[in-house]
């Protein structure tokens, strides 16, 4: 019993909430809520919920109603600081640093640059607004009741999506969202112009698959936070979503529901052996599909996409939950796999050769706990652990509640390896020697335990904190935040740290990296007020657990 309320009752209410969340258009008929509080409009704290006893308020509490989260909120003191009125001095410093990075377009704030590092001689493209980097900035602004910059950003990137995109003589898909953009001032005409990069200037010339997903996820976060349904409902946003979805739902030669990607198409934006079906992209894909489902209108065009999304979600969740999941038992099964099995009775469907299992995994795998591995394709399992994919899997409920708990168990059991002295490694372990040569193409920036190759990225603090709150383990987030507070400000907010324990400021790391700053602020605000979680969390969709696809006749054994 929680505050006199039967937990089971809450749980069943959450499924009503989910059902309603899917039918976003119905929200239109409801009276608009006046936004007075600086937090998610429909995500009130559990204490408010239980005190008021007004069950209708549960409506869209999709992140707050799960049993796990219930526990988390009850365990979590209202404030993470010993004295809530005396916030950590780093908070004010971080806000100041974040505000310095704001970019204006014709007088309006439209985003934040990647890094404000004046000491660095090489600006490279860190003076641009990256879509993925802006995400934690956007959350910070939303949580602080400043949605304007987020709305402007969503509209500007949507406008850029409409540009014709070419690399040499090749035209990119219509829906591609930029990796980054820049505002250029024209002093003669006294006006601002936008310059965007869709991959045609990026190192490696790779288009960012993640940008469109972040954009959809942000649109939902904005809508949840402000209650402004008009933006997502506008013809422009509906079209923008459909264009992104058309790119990733198109039919082809695929036999898997996962999305085929090139190396370097996401946060890890250079060759690191993540080509194929990287977990990071699959998790973002899943989350974006679920977010789109809550926002797409049920008109003729929207309906067609809704049907395709629902089918894909079933297949995708089944595939990832089964084939990407690794724990002690599963590892043992793979270790004993027979190979060269033909036909639908095969246990080792992708013909993974047990000899390809790397040695490190046998010691690394704890008896309890598990995680989604980096990649699965024919005869290839990339056993590396990636932070973003696993955290987003928890937030989007791609991971079942049991899997989410196991991911956190593993993190606790392998804290030294995955966190060490600074949260959190982007990937574990690092590639070394011959493997580094072959996989990265001898990349001098991605040497072992540096940058994307086992480097530590403070930006992941917000993802970790959100996952901790969702799984009812705020104490882990607090531990991680304490570590960050020991060093981040003293070290001038580096982009990444190097070394097995993440002790050294990254060799080529920028200082005052915006998403390191914003990630810290978001983590602090979420721990302070866990109801913010609703912006970036989706409750489990029970329907997805039902057997998804009818077997075709050719499958009968
Ligand atoms: C690096 C990161 C990428 C980020 C960019 C800007 O290229 O790998 O994820 O978006 O810097 O900070």
Token pair belonging to 148: 């304007």
- Ligand 1 center to residue 448 CA distance, Å? 18
- How do residues 526-537 score in pLDDT, each as one tens digit? 999 999 999 999
**Cα separation of 111 and 103, whole Å?**
5
Least confident of 54-58, 94-98, 351-355, 404-408: 54-58
- Mean pLDDT, all residues of the chain: 86
Identify whether the C-beta of residue 534 lies closer than 8 Å to the C-beta of residue 224: yes
Q: Which fold has domain 89-535?
A: Glycosyltransferase (1.50.10)
- How do residues 449-476 score in pLDDT, each as one tens digit? 999 999 999 999 999 999 999 999 999 9
Question: Residue ranges of the domains in the chain?
Answer: 89-535
Q: How confident is the model at residue 84 (pLDDT cuts 50, 70, 90)?
A: low
Torsion angle of C-alpha atoms 286, 324, 178, 436, degrees rounded to 10:
170
- How do residues 250-292 score in pLDDT, each as one tens digit? 989 999 999 999 999 999 999 999 999 999 999 999 999 999 9
pLDDT computed for residue 311 by the predictor: 96
**Cα separation of 432 and 438, whole Å?**
10
Atom of ligand 1 nearest to the CA of 203: 7
Strand partners, 102: 112
- How do residues 295-322 score in pLDDT, each as one tens digit? 999 999 999 999 999 999 999 999 999 9
CB distance 133 to ligand 1 below 6 Å = yes
Token pair belonging to 396: 């989007």
pLDDT, greater one: 119 or 457: 457
**Cα separation of 200 and 212, whole Å?**
16
**Cα separation of 506 and 497, whole Å?**
4
Continuous H helices in 250-298? 279-295
Q: What is the mean pLDDT of residues 377-394?
A: 98
Residue of minimum CA distance from atom 7 in ligand 1: 269
Neighbours of 442 (CB within 10 A): 11
Q: Regarding beta strands 370-377 and 497-498, do their DSSP bridges make them parallel or antiparallel, or are they unpaired?
A: unpaired
CB distance 132 to ligand 1 below 6 Å = yes
Neighbours of 426 (CB within 10 A): 22
pTM over 0.75: yes
Q: Helix, strand, or coil here: 164? A: coil
- Helix or strand (DSSP H, E) at 192: strand 191-197
pLDDT, greater one: 133 or 545: 133
**Cα separation of 534 and 225, whole Å?**
8
- Helix or strand (DSSP H, E) at 193: strand 191-197
- Ligand 1 center to residue 483 CA distance, Å? 23
CB distance 269 to ligand 1 below 6 Å = yes
192 Cβ contact partners less than 8 Å away, ≥ 6 residues apart = 104, 105, 106, 183, 184, 185, 186
Identify whether the C-beta of residue 369 lies closer than 8 Å to the C-beta of residue 413: yes
Least confident of 95-109, 117-131, 151-165, 314-328: 117-131
Residue whose structure tokens are 């493997």: 435
Q: What is the mean pLDDT of residues 431-457?
A: 98
């Amino acid at each position: 019993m929680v505050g006199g309320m039967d937990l089971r009752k809450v749980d069943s209410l959450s499924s009503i909430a989910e059902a309603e969340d899917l039918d976003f258009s119905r929200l239109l008929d409801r009276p608009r809520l006046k936004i007075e509080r600086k937090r998610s409009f429909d995500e009130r704290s559990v204490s408010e919920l239980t005190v008021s006893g007004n069950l209708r308020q549960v409506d869209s509490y999709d992140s707050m109603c799960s049993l796990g989260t219930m526990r988390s909120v009850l365990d979590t003191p209202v404030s993470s600081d010993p004295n809530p009125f005396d916030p950590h001095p780093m908070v004010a410093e971080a806000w100041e640093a974040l505000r310095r990075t704001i970019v204006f377009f014709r007088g309006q704030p439209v985003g934040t640059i990647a890094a404000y590092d004046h000491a660095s001689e090489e600006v490279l493209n860190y003076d641009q607004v990256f879509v993925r980097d802006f995400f934690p900035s956007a959350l910070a602004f939303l949580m602080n009741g400043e949605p304007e910059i987020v709305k402007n950003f969503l509209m500007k990137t949507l406008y850029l999506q409409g540009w014709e995109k070419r690399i040499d003589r090749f035209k990119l898909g219509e829906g591609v969202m930029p990796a980054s953009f820049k505002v250029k001032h024209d002093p003669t005409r006294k006006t601002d112009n936008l310059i965007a990069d869709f991959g045609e200037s990026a190192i490696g010339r790779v288009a960012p698959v993640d940008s469109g997903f972040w954009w959809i996820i942000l649109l939902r976060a904005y809508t949840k936070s402000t209650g402004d349904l008009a933006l997502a409902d506008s013809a422009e946003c509906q079209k923008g979503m459909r264009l992104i979805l058309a790119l990733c739902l198109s039919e082809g030669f695929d036999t898997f529901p996962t999305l085929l990607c090139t190396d370097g198409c996401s946060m890890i934006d250079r060759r690191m052996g993540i080509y194929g079906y990287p977990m990071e992209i699959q998790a973002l894909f899943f989350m974006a599909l679920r977010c789109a489902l809550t926002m797409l209108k049920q008109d003729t065009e929207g309906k067609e996409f809704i049907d395709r999304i629902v089918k894909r979600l079933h297949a995708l969740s089944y595939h990832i939950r089964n084939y990407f999941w690794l724990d002690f038992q599963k590892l043992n099964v793979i270790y004993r796999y027979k190979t060269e099995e033909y036909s639908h009775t095969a246990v080792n469907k992708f013909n993974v050769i047990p000899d390809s299992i790397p040695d490190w995994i046998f010691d690394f795998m704890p008896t309890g706990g598990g995680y989604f591995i980096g990649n699965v394709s024919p005869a290839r399992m990339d056993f590396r652990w990636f932070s973003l994919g696993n955290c987003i899997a928890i937030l989007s409920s791609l991971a079942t509640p049991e899997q989410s708990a196991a991911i956190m168990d593993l993190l606790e059991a392998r804290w030294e390896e995955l966190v060490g002295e600074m949260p959190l490694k982007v990937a574990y372990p690092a590639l070394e020697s011959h493997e580094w040569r072959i996989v990265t193409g001898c990349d001098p920036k991605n040497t072992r335990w540096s940058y994307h190759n086992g480097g530590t990225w403070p930006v992941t603090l917000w993802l970790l904190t959100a996952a901790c709150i969702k799984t009812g383990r705020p104490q882990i987030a607090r531990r991680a935040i304490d570590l960050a507070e020991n060093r981040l400000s003293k070290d001038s907010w580096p982009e990444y740290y190097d070394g097995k324990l993440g002790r050294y400021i990254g060799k080529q790391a920028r200082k005052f990296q915006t998403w390191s700053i914003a990630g810290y602020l978001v983590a602090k605000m979420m721990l302070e007020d866990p109801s913010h979680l609703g912006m970036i969390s989706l409750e489990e969709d029970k329907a997805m657990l039902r057997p998804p696809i009818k077997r075709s006749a050719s499958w009968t054994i």
